[in-house]
Structure 1
């Protein structure tokens, strides 16, 4: 889809990658393998060995970079069609919401069990620690049974979450690692109102902050007031509006001038975000 010039691949994905490699227009010396813990045989470049001999000088290309340049593409999951490559600029990473919400400093440790191809982990996670100068503890996949042990082991002060992750933790038996936990703040989306306060109280969490957005979206909502169950507030006037729709057909209601009708407070509608240049 993206026709990459270089590929970095995890060792666990090597068997699947080998099956499609011949179909790709990529040379063997353009594929770098990381974390090949099972020592799967391959003809590509071992990334970790390559690092031992690489220069530490800053490449000239970084001098010429600016905020409008693309830092990366993050592919959507494809739930509403084929996966789409969403552009992530340098500016978006530098303006990472997580950094501002967490008020990160070099004394913090941000923990995430989300994959880095997810924008929450990459933008609000990696982008935030780059801004705050703190450590980033990354787990390969979420484990409810090992979560609190991980927090204690790395001294995490902040955690990224998504969806029902907090509920999974609530459903677990008491953990010996919760007492005197270093974890104070969590940032994510999807924490239900019915368990919000219970979650904070049981695990001694000081702050839970939420946002609502999309990798390929043009706007977002933010709940930095920590109101349980609130999706969020509009941050910049004029960038997002809620308009009336027919809930049965999904069609927009319009006024006599054929304009969309903005919802009043308390009314249900469709969120529209302004697409900037």
Structure 2
């Protein structure tokens, strides 16, 4: 008996304290492994089901189990799981009777955050059609490119006509069916669709319509501005989407929770976390058209929100709002997302109360992810042996000047020691595949890294510089190459340069991101050269930039050089430019700032520079 063994009692008493002192995260690791095992068992069971089990089938299970449960709240609208099922049936039936569409055809969805987005996606899933989720902010060249690279036969758009009309001639030429979610449309080449939906029956659709699908079949195309060029369509297959069901359940979310979704549904974060995750847990989604810092907590109180999702900018914006007496008066217990800085994390908790923050790392097309389940401030995840076994990864030394991994005499990459920054690469395996980009073999190949640790191996290049500390927490450091992140969006510098090249007065443009104190990510800046006898016209340049680029991709600063500097291999030089930023005290070249008030690029003065740093001028 324990009572007769004081030494044993002492050992049992000491062990928990010893573990907490020398292995403070062992219990959290143990619980996480249990969650991981549960997820793998559930996933394995679903993979073995016949007929094949997809995300749609989980939604249909929830509809049967809790038909009257509130699924979506949107403003004053309320839609139960049964409502969503019926409405999606009507959309599917209307689409079935549409000339030019056949079940299984790829369909492009051009909508912002609204319940119809969800109903339309469910309808297309019932018809066995892959869905291309187009960024609702893109226009002209980018919009047409995104549409073409998924080879969609149909475009279903929200009520806004202007953006669709800009590319309509090209769509008509390709024989694309363009459907507008309105009851009437007088524009030739665009058909009203809402009237057909309202007239369609809401009877269930046969499973046979999606019998052609396999786990490798495309489910959605999500667009990402990776390293260069126009947006790329990352292919998310049915298997990848099935794994996304675990995102919320693995973080303790249940059917009693209310999820606040204010990030764009056309992006990975909004779609996977804000929409697909609640399908698994049977939770309620509070859908917001777009993020509003001033309305955020009022919405949380109004709808009794318990779970929110974020990107780093969201948290910073919330912390920058005027303080209120009721800042801690809410029911939010959990925040899930990525990109929050340690100082913002601390400020958020101090101001808004005991909210558990679950930071994670992942990418749309990537094959590796991390979760910061212990909640250590600043980290994007925790690495451990089991993760390494299932999803082999490593950090390798990276030469930022040459923009490539450092290799040894044998041509292999060199591992970064613990505590030092390195490029995160993840081995491409059957368990961790890389599906690549639709209609873009070149960019797909560029994301593959060969001969990493041994000759012939193949890894996915995340393009992210990371660091692992002595406690095995991993931290995001920076992006490499020709991409920067601003307002929660990836900005491809080559795409912005291409747009600037169409301006008459500009000869060449070198686009990069620069840091601004107090802001997440990097704001866009361009070093440009003028054509011979060319004169910089701030108003004309402003009008062009606003017409062709979404707000987050517009260069806020322009620096005029006599010639754009290049390396010996003719790559544009960015490192020195990034370091100098937009400080008129360091930059001798003419500097201009995008001023929305006067609708022009205006000279950067010392006073303007100070106003930007102080935050009195908003970016």
TM-score (norm 2): 0.41
Report the Cα offset of residue 120 of structure 1: 0.7
Q: For residues 110 and 26 of structure 1, what CA distance do their matches in structure 2 show?
A: 40
Whether the 8 Å CA contact 1:9–1:32 is kept in 2: the answer is: yes
**In the TM superposition, what whole-angstrom CA distance separates every residue of 1:150-191 from its partner, at most 9, and x where no partner exists?**
112222211111121111111111346644312111111111
Larger Rg: 2
Match of 2:219 in 1: 71
Structure 1 CA distance for aligned equivalents of residues 185 and 167 of structure 2: 16
CA contact (8 A) 1:211 1:232 kept: yes
List alignment gaps of at least 5 residues for structure 2. Answer: 1-147, 434-619
The alpha carbon displacement at 1:126 in A equals 1.4
SS at match of 1:159: strand
* 2:343 counterpart residue number: 194
Are residue 249 (structure 1) and residue 249 (structure 2) matched?
Answer: no
Query: What is the deviation of 1:108?
Result: 1.3
Q: CA deviation at 1:230?
A: 0.9
Shift in Å at residue 263 of structure 1? 1.6
Specify the alignment match of 1:222 in structure 2: 371
Establish whether residue 207 from structure 1 lines up as the match of residue 360 from structure 2: no
1:8-157 equivalences in 2 (<5 Å):
8-12=156-160, 14-24=161-171, 25-26=174-175, 30-33=178-181, 43-47=190-194, 50-51=197-198, 53-59=200-206, 60-77=208-225, 80-96=228-244, 98-157=247-306
Structure 1 counterpart of 2:427, from 270, 274, 277 = 274
Instruction: Determine the structure 1 residue equivalent to 2:136.
Output: none
- Whether contact under 8 Å (1:6, 1:26) holds in the other structure is no
Alpha-carbon distance between aligned partners in 1 of 2:185 and 2:227, rounded to the nearest angstrom: 32
Q: Counterparts of 1:130 and 1:166 in 2: how far apart (Å)? A: 25
Q: Which moved more, 1:163-172 or 1:249-258?
A: 249-258
Closer/same/farther in 2, CA of residues 51 and 98 from structure 1, 3 Å limit: farther
8 Å contact from structure 1 (residues 149, 177) kept in 2: no
The structure 2 residue matched to 1:185, chosen from 326, 334, 345, is 334
Q: How many residues align?
A: 272
Alignment gaps of 5+ in structure 1: none
Partner of 2:124: none
Alpha-carbon spacing, 1:215–1:8, altered in 2? closer, same or farther (3 Å): same
In structure 2, relative to structure 1, the CA distance for the partners of 1:79 and 1:139 (3 Å cut) is farther
* Other structure's SS at 2:399 match: coil
Deviation at 1:149, TM superposition (A): 1.2
C-alpha deviation, 1:74, in angstroms? 0.6
Task: Report how far residue 67 of structure 1 moved.
Answer: 2.8
Q: Which has the higher helix share?
A: 2
1:54/1:233 CA distance change after superposition, 3 Å:
farther
Q: Say whether 1:264 aligns with 2:417.
A: yes
Shift of residue 142, structure 1, vs aligned partner: 0.9
- Return the offset for 1:20: 1.7
Give the Cα–Cα distance (whole angstroms) in 2 for the partners of residues 241 and 27 of structure 1.
45
